């Protein structure tokens, strides 16, 4: 996995078991309509099943991939070299497609919601790319990592966990999961894992640098009533901020040179599955907890973030703002007046109006 520190695996703290009859399965179908004035309109049909599983002894959410249509945004397409990837239409073709079950960490606020696990979202996006071109079947399930039944069944493993039932194989290590997705993509001729050393170098350690800045800034602000301004930071902490901004500037410059929607071109690859969720976490946590935002003059980087907000794989796998904030506040032991557990879940999938005007002026959104 590119630029990922294995020690940054998401911890399992904070989840709570939801109530309900262990034998009860509730199905709720939602028609979600997100309207962003002058930007785009998204209509998504998402099937969410709240399942109290006998296997895990907890409430589990199962997410079926919905179909999304967008105005003023190109539909996300990942072209294959082999048409339908070697599968025929009809029931026979459907039966031959491997079924992959991805178990992701549930929200620490509500077990039926997606948690803020970066690796979970990364693999979800990669599987979505395979699903979208019709070469695999995918089920994504949220799990309560604090459940004794879950710990017993998975022997202490932490999400993400992937099961390929047809082969009777369970993948509990990040490298194993990505390795299996890599081989499936290669076998089915889906260009998801194209290599580019320039991109790899540009995005490497971006999240680690953010975490260094986050820890330093949180420690500096501990005990203060207000978040300290960035221009008032001591030199040592300011250096961590400058290093992060410098790397973001390099990515902005790379995107300017490439002139493409995604890092490698017009189709999403593993690099986008890695970078997009991390940029979103930086934005949400930075704004709410650090007094930090991605500089608005990084127009090409903001256009890339806008592309993420228009990409079906990202939209479906993205946790709510409240779940992201709750995760980091627990992880960093941050106490604020905000009470995410009492708030209605929302997702920030818009960008600043001034930045959007710059994007339109440069005709980057066409």
User: Domain 197-362 classified CATH 3.40.50.150?
Assistant: no
Lowest model confidence (mean pLDDT) among 25-29, 46-50, 295-299: 25-29
CATH (residue range 99-188): 3.40.30.10
Residue of 300, 304, 338 whose CA lies nearest to 321: 338
Is-same-fold flag (99-188; 197-362)? no
Distances (CA, A) of 6 to 193, 201, 207, 363: 20, 17, 12, 39
Tokens matching residue 152: 């017993």
Contact 161, 103 (CB under 8 A): yes
pTM (two decimals): 0.77
Give the model confidence (pLDDT) of 257-280 as tens digits: 999 999 999 999 999 999 999 999
Domain boundaries, the chain: 99-188, 197-362
pLDDT reported for residue 94 = 54
Tokens matching residue 319: 């946790």
Give the model confidence (pLDDT) of 132-152 as tens digits: 999 999 999 999 888 887 888
pLDDT reported for residue 107 = 94
């Amino acid at each position: 996995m590119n630029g990922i520190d294995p020690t940054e695996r998401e911890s399992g703290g904070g989840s709570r078991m939801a109530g309900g009859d262990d034998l009860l399965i509730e199905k709720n179908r939602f028609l979600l309509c997100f309207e962003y004035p002058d930007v785009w309109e998204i209509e998504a049909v998402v099937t969410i099943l709240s399942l109290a599983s006998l296997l895990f002894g907890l409430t589990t959410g199962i997410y079926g991939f919905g179909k999304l249509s967008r105005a003023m945004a190109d539909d996300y397409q990942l072209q294959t070299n082999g048409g339908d990837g070697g599968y025929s239409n009809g029931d026979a073709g459907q039966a031959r497609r491997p079924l992959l079950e991805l178990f992701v960490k549930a929200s620490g606020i509500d077990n039926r919601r997606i948690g803020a696990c970066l690796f979970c979202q990364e693999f979800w996006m990669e599987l979505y790319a395979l699903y979208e071109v019709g070469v695999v079947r995918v089920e994504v399930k949220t799990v309560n990592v604090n459940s004794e039944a879950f710990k017993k069944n998975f022997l202490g493993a932490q999400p993400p966990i992937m099961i390929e039932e047809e082969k009777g194989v369970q993948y509990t290590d990040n490298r194993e999961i990505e390795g299996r997705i890599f081989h499936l993509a290669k076998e089915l001729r889906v260009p998801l894992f194209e290599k580019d050393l320039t991109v790899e170098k540009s995005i490497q350690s971006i999240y680690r640098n953010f975490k260094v800045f986050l820890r330093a800034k949180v420690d500096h602000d501990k005990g203060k009533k207000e978040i300290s301004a960035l221009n008032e930071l001591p030199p040592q902490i300011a250096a961590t901020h400058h290093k992060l901004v410098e790397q973001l500037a390099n990515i902005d410059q790379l995107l300017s040179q490439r002139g493409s929607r995604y890092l490698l071109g017009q189709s999403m690859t593993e690099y986008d599955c890695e970078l997009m969720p991390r940029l979103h976490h930086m934005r949400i946590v930075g704004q709410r907890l650090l007094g930090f935002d991605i500089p608005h003059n990084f127009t090409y980087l903001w256009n890339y973030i806008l592309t993420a907000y228009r990409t079906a794989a990202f939209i479906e796998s993205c946790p709510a703002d409240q779940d992201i904030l709750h995760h980091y506040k627990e992880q960093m032991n941050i106490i604020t007046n905000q009470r995410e557990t009492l708030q209605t879940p929302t997702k920030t999938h818009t960008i600043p109006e001034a930045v959007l005007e710059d994007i339109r002026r440069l005709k980057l959104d066409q």
